[in-house]
């Protein structure tokens, strides 16, 4: 169970601007749907335009949305999508009525749902969200999230998810100041929130609007604080340093503005005079933000809350208890030694001598025995409590699995199994049993059938990369594997029996080659096998019109790309080689440049843009390409696919190609929901296929050339880290994947 601390940071012209009525954090009401009872919902609505909703209307709208969310069944993402569509319809109808008056409002929306140790995000409009834990992950993709709500018939949403732990934080804002880099957006090791809030204020500039939410273990409740000063209030677990006697009392660092109706509890005022806080208004019964107002802590001395002394006393008591238990342990050892000595003396020792123990030892025993009894009782209570929690979640997962098996409609059936799996994972946080493993296998098998999943048994087959950089690209060629790491260097592995050994004499990457300076490689590709044996094997390019040619037992050589005409090179991103031609993807230039090159690195002719009659729509958002004889596949950042084929006069004709999802309950669509494709590979023989990596889900999808779904491959057992790259050997039906600096191999048969 989680406590949520919501901090509102709203400053205009470097001055506090009060609360954000479009921000609310809600806990499930008593009559919430059973699939929503473990959710906590954040709604962050920012408005652009000349006709925004008023504060009162915003609060009422958010309460209705929260009420609607907690009444829905189905998966979290489905419920979030329904909320976004409802809000989009509201803004769209409103804008149509206001259009004759030249007014409109566009909604930028962020929805966040905490369920157990998983945080689900949905962003519409160019919103920013950052999850702060051991690492900082920034979510912002205007191409996927669109322009916002109220501008089209359907809401465009960018979905994401992240694992969260106690103390982790979420920062949501319509705009992130340029100074909010990783040094600012980080949590201290002790998970204190005050340093983070101070940095956000200090580096946020004159205009700031954001919400910061920190989750902690505890009874479910929401605490809302509106920051009104230049720094953050101290954490509840922090003890402020005592000021020196010669220094004046420190000024207050933050104050809590009067909370709106959904606020849980205002923060204590900074000034020493004590005032009775106004009673908190009851929250809406359908979407409570649980907690009653807390009494203001007394201040004893300048800036010292009494709670800090209580916490300090608690810490001292804990240390005393620890020392007492240590003394008890040592005393127990001494007692055992004494009894052994008594036993050795036998009947020759009198009873008076046996029981003539020191009074200090008797006193220690009188104190220690109750402590031992209490300690044992606490341990037993905690273990029984964890067992009860496990049994409750496990019983719920069993019930949901049985109900899912009786459902016929595929999508509803899948959502029900997904909920059962969520509850089973919650049970396994308290205990792991053979029954839980059996139920997991049963649920996973059902989901695999609905999702068209084929499980692959992967095994590590390579040495570990010497660099800690993840692998960006895997290239397979017979007995050789090449791995392009994120540090811009290519590594060579050669087969030895069933294991790929790292070739430490192979050098291919950034450096100075004669008069050319080659930067970190942006991409690499295999050269054709039909080239002469002494030719190079790999070609790589950097982002500045330079490249290298590499091969085993050959010294790498550099080259400069010929000038592109009529447009100039802007930022080469990917390279491919096909039938003696080098294809270079340059999205900012809206081009795929083609130039003839032999295996020795000799160019002939001038590069030309494959799109002689204009680039396809959205060319600047392309992240991957795959070259086919007479055509191209272009993968966009939002997952959409464009296919280009040569027509008469060598002109390229391009069109958007929908995914023909043949799984039960699915239908053709421009994208496959809940996927984030990042890389693709074409395999021409013996079974022509297009393979696409969904790194976030740890899956490799297989499609026909016409984008008809065939299957998806997932590990039979979890890999130690996220897949970052893959390669396919179609002849032997072998899949290679890279994870955590190693290469794994699995059979697709």
pLDDT, greater one: 263 or 390: 390
Cβ atoms of 232 and 201 within 8 Å: the answer is yes
- The Cα–Cα gap between 245 and 249 comes to 9
* CA geometry: angle 653, 655, 661, nearest 5 deg: 140
CA dihedral for 143, 614, 646, 524, sign (positive or negative): negative
Q: Between the CA of residue 36 and those of 73, 76, 236, 275, 416, what are the distances in Å?
A: 7, 8, 29, 39, 13
Rounded to an integer, the average pLDDT of 122-143 is 90
CA count, 13 A, side-chain hemisphere, 476: 23
Output the pLDDT for position 393. Answer: 86
- In this prediction, residue 351 has a pLDDT band, given cuts at 50, 70 and 90, of very low
Output the pLDDT for position 531. Answer: 52
Output the pLDDT for position 623. Answer: 94
Beta strands in 20-140 (DSSP E): 23-26, 39-49, 105-115, 118-124, 128-132, 136-139
Cβ atoms of 70 and 115 within 8 Å: the answer is no
Rounded to an integer, the average pLDDT of 304-319 is 48
Output the pLDDT for position 306. Answer: 41
Question: Do 2-237+251-268 and 455-747 show the same overall fold?
Answer: no
Give CATH for domain 2-237+251-268.
3.60.40.10
pLDDT tens-digit map of 708-721: 999 999 999 999 88
The pair of three-digit structure tokens given for residue 595, joined into one six-digit string: 């130039």
Q: What share of the chain has pLDDT > 70, as a percent?
A: 79
pLDDT tens-digit map of 168-209: 999 999 999 888 988 889 888 788 898 899 889 888 888 889
The pair of three-digit structure tokens given for residue 196, joined into one six-digit string: 């983070």
- In this prediction, residue 235 has a pLDDT band, given cuts at 50, 70 and 90, of low
- 22 closest CA partner among 129, 109, 148: 109
pLDDT tens-digit map of 406-437: 988 888 888 889 888 888 988 888 888 999 99
Which pTM value belongs to this model?
0.56
CA count, 13 A, side-chain hemisphere, 512: 2
Output the pLDDT for position 579. Answer: 84
Q: Which residues contact 132 (CB under 8 A, 6 or more apart)?
A: 168, 169, 170, 171, 185, 186, 187, 196
Which fold, 455-747?
Answer: Neuraminidase (2.120.10)
CB neighbourhood size of 624 (10 A): 21
Task: Specify which residues 163 forms β-bridges with.
Answer: 118
The values of phi and psi at residue 227, to 5°, are -75, 125
Helical (H) or strand (E) element with 223: strand 221-227
DSSP 697-736: TTEEEEE-TT-BEEEEEEESS--SS---EEEEETTTTEEE
Share the mean pLDDT of the chain: 81
Rounded to an integer, the average pLDDT of 105-119 is 93
How would you class 169 by CB atoms within 10 Å of its CB: exposed for 0-12, middle for 13-18, buried for 19 or more? buried
Query: Domain-by-domain residue ranges, the chain?
Result: 2-237+251-268, 357-451, 455-747
DSSP 84-109: HHHHHHHHHHHHHHHGGGT--EEEEE
Q: Which residues contact 550 (CB under 8 A, 6 or more apart)?
A: 490, 506, 507, 508, 536, 537, 538, 539, 540, 556
Using the structure block, give the residue that is written with the tokens 């190609």. Answer: 657
């Amino acid at each position: 169970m989680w406590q949520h601390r919501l901090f509102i940071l709203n400053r205009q012209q470097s001055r506090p601007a009060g609360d954000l009525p479009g921000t609310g954090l809600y806990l499930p009401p008593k009559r919430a749907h059973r699939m929503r009872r473990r959710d906590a919902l954040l709604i962050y609505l920012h408005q652009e335009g000349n006709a925004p909703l008023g504060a009162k209307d915003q609060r009422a709208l958010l309460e209705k949305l929260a009420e609607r969310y907690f009444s829905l069944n189905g998966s979290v993402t489905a419920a979030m999508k329904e909320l976004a569509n409802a809000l989009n319809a509201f803004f769209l109808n409103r804008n149509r009525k206001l259009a004759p008056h030249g007014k409109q409002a566009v909604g930028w929306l962020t929805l966040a749902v905490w369920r157990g140790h998983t945080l689900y995000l949905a962003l519409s409009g160019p919103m920013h969200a950052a999850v702060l834990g051991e690492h900082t992950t920034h979510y912002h993709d205007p191409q996927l999230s669109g322009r916002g709500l109220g501008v089209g018939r359907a809401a465009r949403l960018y979905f994401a998810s992240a694992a969260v732990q106690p103390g982790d934080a979420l920062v949501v804002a319509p705009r992130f100041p340029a100074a909010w880099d990783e040094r600012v957006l980080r949590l201290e090791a002790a998970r204190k929130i005050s340093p983070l809030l101070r940095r956000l204020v200090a580096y946020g500039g004159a205009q700031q609007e954001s919400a910061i939410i920190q989750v902690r273990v505890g009874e479910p409740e929401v605490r809302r604080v509106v920051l009104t000063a230049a720094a953050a209030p101290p954490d509840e677990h922090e003890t402020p340093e005592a000021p020196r006697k010669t220094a004046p009392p420190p000024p207050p660092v933050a104050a809590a503005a009067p909370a709106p109706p959904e606020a849980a509890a205002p923060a204590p005022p900074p000034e020493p005079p004590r005032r009775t806080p106004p009673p908190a208004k009851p929250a809406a019964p359908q979407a409570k933000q649980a907690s009653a107002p807390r009494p203001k802590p007394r201040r004893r001395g300048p800036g010292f809350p009494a709670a800090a002394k209580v916490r300090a006393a608690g810490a001292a008591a804990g240390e005393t208890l620890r020392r007492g238990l240590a003394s008890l342990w040592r005393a127990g050892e001494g007692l055992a030694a004494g009894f052994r000595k008594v036993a050795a003396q036998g009947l020759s020792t009198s009873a008076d001598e046996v029981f003539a123990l020191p009074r200090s030892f008797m006193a220690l025993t009188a104190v220690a025995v109750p402590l031992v009894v209490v300690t044992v009782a606490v341990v037993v209570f905690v273990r029984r409590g964890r067992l009860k929690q496990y049994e409750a979640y496990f019983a719920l997962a069993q019930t949901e699995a049985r109900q899912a098996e009786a459902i016929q409609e595929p999508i509803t059936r899948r959502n029900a199994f997904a909920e059962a799996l969520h509850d089973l994972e919650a049970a396994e946080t308290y205990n792991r049993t053979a029954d839980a493993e059996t139920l997991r296998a049963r649920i996973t098998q059902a989901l695999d059938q609905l999702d068209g999943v084929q499980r692959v048994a992967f095994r590590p087959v390579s040495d570990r990369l010497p660099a800690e950089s993840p692998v960006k690209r895997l290239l397979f060629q017979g007995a050789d594997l090449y791995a392009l790491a994120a540090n811009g260097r290519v590594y060579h592995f050669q087969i030895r029996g069933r294991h790929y050994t790292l070739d430490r004499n192979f050098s291919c990457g950034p450096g100075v080659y004669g008069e050319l300076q080659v930067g970190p490689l942006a991409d690499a590709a295999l050269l054709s096998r039909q080239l002469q044996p002494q030719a190079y094997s790999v070609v790589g390019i950097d982002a500045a019109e330079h490249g290298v040619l590499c091969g085993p037992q050959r010294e790498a050589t550099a080259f400069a790309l010929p000038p592109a005409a009529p447009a100039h090179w802007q930022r080469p991103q990917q390279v491919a080689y096909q039938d003696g031609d080098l294809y270079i993807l340059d999205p900012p230039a809206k081009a795929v440049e083609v130039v003839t090159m032999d295996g020795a690195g000799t160019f002939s002719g001038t590069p030309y843009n494959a799109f002689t009659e204009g680039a396809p729509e959205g060319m600047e958002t392309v992240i991957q390409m795959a070259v086919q004889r007479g055509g191209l596949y272009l993968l966009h950042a939002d997952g959409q696919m464009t296919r280009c084929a040569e027509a008469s006069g060598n002109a390229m004709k391009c069109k958007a190609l929908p995914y023909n999802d043949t799984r039960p309950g699915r239908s053709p669509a421009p994208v496959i929901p809940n996927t984030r494709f990042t890389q693709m590979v074409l395999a021409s023989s013996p079974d022509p296929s297009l393979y696409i990596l969904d790194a976030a889900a740890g899956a490799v999808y297989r499609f026909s050339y016409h984008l008809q779904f065939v299957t998806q491959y997932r590990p039979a057992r979890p890999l130690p880290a996220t897949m970052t790259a893959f390669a396919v050997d179609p002849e032997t039906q072998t899949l290679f994947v890279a994870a955590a600096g190693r290469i794994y191999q699995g059979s697709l048969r």
